[in-house]
Chains A and B, each alone.
Chain A
């Protein structure tokens, strides 16, 4: 059995975990991150991609609002390749309560969020498909953020400073000595191979899985698993984020994200963090609210629906079920203080916009705990290089520190300049290079790093082509390439199913036809 040793073991490769890995690496603290699947496969990639200005929390959660605007400005500065400064709008409709608007304006001022009122007529002219019920419109410094890129950017920079990571390894148990956790037993979710990691401290940053990890150590962490469903529309409807000016509720944010627009979210409590199936009912619920802003929203092509789990920390409020009333604050639980178990802390709650702050506070805590490590540098040191928005720099914006090899390929190998994923404009060079990385194991990993298959065709044109292109490059060749294809397509299909009407239905039928004829696969429907 393989044995590893580290000072801090971070469990969970989402924004929280990768943010902490970067924080600790920059402080010079030896850390290893383990993730049961791929980096950012959970909530950090299954959200609407909104970089909060804090305005959304201005009335109910002033503390969160303040944190958001501070972190918003920091992320725009340190991670320009992950953030798009789209700006955002808050829109008051005739049916909304004008008194809420006054409270909201006061809240924003209190939190230091820059708000400007603009002419609703000009707004409607810019977006003629909007309802004519618009009464007032305000701009806020919202932005959009790529959860995949952000998490990988953290990991890659951490690696440069000595941080280590291990994907596709699940924690299956802990070892204890004299009331102290000393080691974790990991199992590879790809090969089943077991690894033991000795550590001085384990940080449970497993998000929706945090309760499960705590259970393995014999302690309790109350996390409410709250499912949010979102719809991805085919193209960019807005240039900026559009919010409704009313207390946060279901389906009221539109986020332009890369080539698509995401509408979300719903809020339902679920039993398991794996319960990620969006339903047709949830889609209908989102559309009902969407119609208030875009009356003919049904005519716009929906690519798919997807869901993510909000891991909401319950704390002493263990019976709370109204998910929207639970604060988005985060907590650091020292299980020595709470449960008398040394060597384990849990980092839970919070939201993506404040992930860096969570890491900073935890890093400070660990630094004090061990009496080692430098002060936090994550707010100043650039996480990604600044790359101007243009085609030339597209590769740098996408892959930052890992861009140079891709650029070389594009410059030197003519055939690799060919666009392979047409919907997202991804070249053969990118796919081949990304496939050759040690942390890429399958098409889904490729997708998270490149956006492969996330556009209009949902895999119709790119799945088989990219498997052919990537196959020779993959370090561990999949035993059955055809199963890879099937898995990839059925993942795509499970998201298409709840929106299977109109153009999405045509697309799905075409995919089923193509894969049925050419590969004997009935598109993604084979597994359904």
Chain B
């Protein structure tokens, strides 16, 4: 499965930078840390005394990737952790909760049809408590609400406003934009149209990040193969592929070829862009109505955007193309880490990590918050009560001829 050989553990110099940068270790002593459950454990597990065992607390790794970002030796620490975690879950068997969380597309497809009822019920405390005792789902961290119609359905009925000379780009909406927040996708389509780009949205499956996070690597691999094959049709003509979700981008860029060890991933990686990264290279002057945002905003950098290694193009766009009113929160990981924080036993960890956000938001005292990651947004709203936008939404709201 993993395209990481035992050599990668040789590069670990035991500097512990990964542990220092791990948000979970700071708040939860039951997690031995990324190094201890990654390269250390891999090395120890080759030893007769510990083989067939798993490190205690490995399930607390949230796969936020901060350890990999920090490692000066290039050790795939988080990937090693995921591999061990997956092996443990496979051996011990995972519950219905993991199966459901691993496949948000499956959930979304159903839920989007009954979004009103589902959003209503997921807010009822007593039902949430039942969910906690039966499925181990957190009773306090709110579920991201589902949209009344999915992005794809909106997109099918939408007439793109482009000329015949328009260039084409591929957009991968990801499950969150697809089922929970289609506004993000709509915004991107409108911006791209205004710049005379036609958007293509092929048939995708979930990127696989939730499956990886829930220890279901085989499932993730199936999704990956489907997605890569789908993308290959477009990238062979040199079409760029845009992502509005940092986790989806990271999964395509890093996990397919690395953790999941899929060779063909290499063929598509050069064509993958964060939407902001792609837009950052274009001229906006003529398409914007106004350069001013209404009020003060604070920006949260998602860990997976950091890990994707593209900088903060969304923040840069807002501050460069428009007017400089978006302040970086600079508070580190939000703690939710996808479905991680929705699990009852992880809730205290998520909330403890999220304390940093609370403090930082209070300091800036913004009108609303900005971030690319949908689930980070859930946590931002959770700790502050403020509205959370995707940078693309703010950008699109200032377009000329906005409808």
Which chain A residues have a beta carbon within 8 Å of chain B's beta carbons?
84, 86, 234-236, 258-259, 299-301, 389-391, 394, 397, 419, 422-425, 455-457, 460-461, 503, 506-507, 510
Contact = CB atoms under 8 A, between A and B. Distances in A.
A421 to B, nearest CB: 10
Given A235-B43, A390-B53, A461 B14 contact: yes
Given A234-B10, A507-B14, A394 B40 contact: no
B364 interface: no
Contacts of A457: 13-14
Given A259-B44, A425-B44, A456-B43, A301 B50 contact: no
Contacts of B10: 234-235, 300-301, 503
A214 B13 CA distance: 47
A258 B47 contact: yes
Given A236-B46, A390-B52, A397-B49, 11 more contacts: A84-B48, A235-B6, A236-B47, A259-B44, A391-B50, A422-B40, A456-B12, A456-B43, A461-B14, A503-B13, A510-B14
B32 interface: yes
Nearest to A398: B49
Interface in B48-85: 48-53, 73
Contacts of A390: 52-53
The main secondary structure of chain A at its interface with chain B is loop
A428 to B, nearest CB: 14
Nearest to A393: B49
A422 B11 CA distance: 15
Nearest to B50: A391
Nearest to A422: B40
Contacts of A258: 47-49
Nearest to B16: A461
Contacts of B272: none
- In the A-B complex, the 8 residue pairs with the smallest Cβ-Cβ separation, listed nearest first, are A301-B10, A236-B46, A457-B14, A259-B47, A235-B43, A391-B53, A84-B48, A506-B13
A235 B50 CA distance: 14
A510 B13 contact: yes
A460 B14 contact: yes
A236 B53 CA distance: 17
A259 B46 contact: yes
Nearest to B32: A419
B36 to A, nearest CB: 6
Given A300-B7, A506-B13, A507-B14, A425 B48 contact: no
A423 B6 contact: no
A506 B49 CA distance: 28
A339 to B, nearest CB: 47
A84 B51 CA distance: 13
A397 B7 CA distance: 28
Contacts of B48: 84, 86, 258, 389
A423 B15 contact: no
B261 to A, nearest CB: 14
Interface in B305-350: none
A510 B15 contact: yes
A389 B43 contact: no
Contact of A423 (B11, B32, B43): B43
B111 interface: no
Contact of B40 (A423, A460, A506): A423
B7 A299 contact: yes
A506 B71 CA distance: 14
B361 interface: no
The interface centre, meaning the residue of B12, B47, B73 with most chain A CB atoms within 10 A of its CB, is B47
A389 B53 CA distance: 10
Nearest to B41: A425
8 contacts: A258-B47, A389-B51, A422-B14, A425-B50, A455-B43, A503-B10, A507-B14, A510-B14
A419 B53 CA distance: 16
Nearest to A510: B13
A301 B13 CA distance: 11
Interface string B124-167: 00000000000000000000000000000000000000000000
Contacts of B260: none
Contacts of A507: 13-14
Contacts of B7: 299-300
A259 B43 contact: yes
B304 interface: no
A456 B10 CA distance: 8
Given A235-B6, A422-B40, A394 B50 contact: yes
B10 to A, nearest CB: 4
A300 B9 CA distance: 10
B39 to A, nearest CB: 8
Contacts of A389: 48-49, 51
Nearest to A144: B48
Interface string B15-37: 11000000000000000100110
A396 to B, nearest CB: 11
A429 B7 CA distance: 31
Contacts of B50: 391, 394, 425
Nearest to A300: B10
Nearest to B42: A235
B233 to A, nearest CB: 34
Given A301-B10, A503-B11, A510-B13, A235 B46 contact: yes
Contacts of B73: 506
B287 to A, nearest CB: 51
A455 B43 CA distance: 10
Contacts of A424: 44
A456 B47 CA distance: 14
A236 B46 CA distance: 6
A316 B11 CA distance: 51
Contacts of B43: 234-235, 259, 423, 455-456
Contacts of A460: 14
B14 A456 contact: yes
Contacts of B47: 236, 258-259
A143 to B, nearest CB: 11
A20 B123 CA distance: 76
Contacts of A425: 40, 44, 50
Nearest to B73: A506
Nearest to A455: B43
Contacts of A455: 43
Contact of B36 (A259, A300, A422): A422
Interface string B368-380: 0000000000000
